[in-house]
A and B are shown apart, each in its own frame.
Chain A
């Protein structure tokens, strides 16, 4: 079991190192297969750990395996340790399982790219980093994994580095993540100062007012940055510049959910700072509404799905913010399935249309790629939360938990969740209808080419099919009014703070389902049957298209002043310094030129110099003696 956990962690790292060392000596397919294989091996290791834990008593399920002591400074000690407990095993399974499927999909999607090997090395590096994050036995290793997933994200968003938009998006993502890293580091400093260690149990010992609030705020800052919640959400839509499998793996299924994992893992600190936990829930609620609204006007197929991710993570934040850790993590799991499915189906569409991503040019693809249509439909239904697809079982308990928490905040959050359900149905079916239904558009007729039955086609269709199946059955492992194995599984790590009653569960499940169906129906009426026109509200339209002006605000508040400061510093300090150094070079050259005049090239001058020097030296020697 412990060995399984180490294998899970180290297998992708080995693949990344081997691909990097192999360089161009290995073929591209070798790199692809190696990366995929390593991820499947990691999944096998995760299964081994899972089975091992199953055979134990719930109270015994906590194993910390330390490789060696990594940092020692004064009384502070940190080990390279791996934690095997229900929460980490759950994340291991999700990360390695979905990761393996997505990397297998990439074999087909990235086939023919010039730099495939680099891609697969980065993907393996990312999987390793994410596993380090979730398996880390102390906060230092969690932070190490946290930083490395940020790095992998930067590398993979900017993968097509000759595109300026991709480079800019990668920088933006990294910088915003770095803000979160900074707040987390500050929080860790406080923890060390108060308790002297960075183990997870230290968080529970932070009694006392303002320290634990600051720590929780710092952790929340990191979670908000990594999970693209308000106010640090602007990097996620831009991150769609990366290849579609990257968007599927990093910006849907795993990295962005690291924030949710962090809050669950450090829930002890949040519970000691209830205000901050409420703030977390509030941020989640605001984000889910904002993202849902913005998704209504997006015209890029990947950006719609990106905003959907932002919105669903908002749901997860609401869940863990009110204390329903099991529901939040369950939604994380099902979301990984159907969001990856949606991204991968979108990837097949993009691939078939020669890299076109604008949905206004698409239409009528249903008849040309029926299986993709069905996969996308399954994903859409799961996302909207329709019975019996996966999202239904995981999303509604969160709303019920918000109601169970009660108080003004709880009801507001529940209302937001319900509105969000309506918006979700609306935007995802808008996307489905615009892309797949109707008559094939002229663009489609001109550029469409189907997936062939070769490696590319097989890798992409098989993995999508597997995820489609998971999106159907993945939710069946828990239906909270009746059976809740996931909650029970996670209870030793993070016991829930609220338990909704059966009545609450039923009512809000029904309400949420109804609102989702209303959303789907509205989408059909507006975009499918064209019975209702899109409302003409120019101000609203513009605000949504500008994503509530966040990018403009950050540009004016941060980007421009910093750029101006940099220019000022360059002109006032750096330029004079550099030209000063350049002057030293010129002066040296001048002096050298002076000395060069000594070399007349004339024999007699040199001879005269020798003779006179001898004469003078003789006098000197005689005088000295």
Chain B
């Protein structure tokens, strides 16, 4: 059907654009030196993900993504970045080169493995999506699930949010301790565990 193929083509175009933006912004997040730009890139990432969710008929989740992630979490990030302000830039990356090399290898290996495993296990079925009703992904459906089948998850999530809020408050309380790097704040180093010395502390 032309409509079907036109609709399909439209979806494909939108998908390609959103996926491209997603991947691009993802790479951008980890590449920028300035955390401000990384945060902005992440906002773009979240937005393109919302588009992808819409394509997957998850309307409520898409809306929540924009509101919660984009509206709350990223704003918080930007607040903190602004609060911290300009500072001595830490190196982009550093440490032993073998570590960086191993990191890239590990990440790449993970990517390949995920694709391979999915291909092996579910290769044939990925083409055939199950039919859905019109209320799939709607707020009503989500609400119904939250309050009946997945009530426990709902409650536990609430508690975790509460705990995080309390933790945030505590962490943000006035600092009482000595500044970093002063003698009192140093933790004791146990020289005793180096061979050749006896433990005089215990």
Which residues of A approach B to under 8 Å, CB–CB?
589-590, 592-593, 596, 602, 604-605, 608, 611-612, 614-615, 618-619, 622
Q: Looking across the interface, which residue of chain B has its beta carbon closest to that of A607?
A: B103
Q: For the complex, is B170 an interface residue (Cβ under 8 Å from A)?
A: no
Q: List 16 A-B contacts (CB under 8 A).
A: A589-B199, A592-B193, A593-B193, A604-B95, A604-B99, A608-B106, A611-B103, A611-B107, A614-B110, A615-B106, A615-B109, A618-B110, A618-B113, A619-B109, A622-B113, A622-B116
**In the bound complex, CA of A614 to CA of B117 (Å):** 13
Q: Are A611 and B110 in contact (CB under 8 A)?
A: yes
Q: Which listed residue, B99, B107, B116, B193, touches A605 by the CB 8 Å rule?
A: B99
Q: For the complex, is B195 an interface residue (Cβ under 8 Å from A)?
A: yes
Q: For the complex, is B102 an interface residue (Cβ under 8 Å from A)?
A: yes
Q: A593-B193, A622-B116, A622-B120 are in contact. Are A608 and B199 (CB under 8 A)?
A: no
Other contacts beyond A612-B102, A618-B110: 14, CB < 8 A: A589-B192, A589-B193, A589-B199, A590-B195, A593-B193, A604-B103, A608-B99, A608-B106, A611-B107, A615-B106, A618-B117, A619-B109, A622-B117, A622-B120
Q: Are B102 and A608 in contact (CB under 8 A)?
A: yes
B92 to chain A, nearest CB (A): 13
Q: Looking across the interface, which residue of chain B has its beta carbon closest to that of A593?
A: B193
**In the bound complex, CA of A605 to CA of B107 (Å):** 14
Cβ–Cβ < 8 Å partners of A592 in chain B = 193
Q: For the complex, is B194 an interface residue (Cβ under 8 Å from A)?
A: yes
**In the bound complex, CA of A605 to CA of B117 (Å):** 27
Which residues of B approach A to under 8 Å, CB–CB?
95, 99, 102-103, 106-107, 109-110, 113-114, 116-117, 120, 190, 192-195, 199
Cβ–Cβ < 8 Å partners of B194 in chain A = 593
B121 to chain A, nearest CB (A): 9
**In the bound complex, CA of A589 to CA of B107 (Å):** 36
Q: Looking across the interface, which residue of chain A has its beta carbon closest to that of B116?
A: A622
Q: A605-B99, A608-B106, A622-B120 are in contact. Are A593 and B113 (CB under 8 A)?
A: no
Q: Looking across the interface, which residue of chain A has its beta carbon closest to that of B99?
A: A608
Cβ–Cβ < 8 Å partners of B190 in chain A = 596
**In the bound complex, CA of A611 to CA of B193 (Å):** 29
6 shortest interchain CB distances as A-B pairs? A593-B193, A615-B109, A611-B106, A618-B113, A612-B106, A590-B195
Cβ–Cβ < 8 Å partners of B109 in chain A = 615, 619
Q: Are A593 and B103 in contact (CB under 8 A)?
A: no
Cβ–Cβ < 8 Å partners of A612 in chain B = 102, 106
Q: Looking across the interface, which residue of chain B has its beta carbon closest to that of A614?
A: B110
Q: Looking across the interface, which residue of chain B has its beta carbon closest to that of A605?
A: B99
Cβ–Cβ < 8 Å partners of A614 in chain B = 110
Q: Are B113 and A619 in contact (CB under 8 A)?
A: yes
Q: Looking across the interface, which residue of chain B has its beta carbon closest to that of A590?
A: B195
Cβ–Cβ < 8 Å partners of B199 in chain A = 589
Q: Looking across the interface, which residue of chain A has its beta carbon closest to that of B195?
A: A590
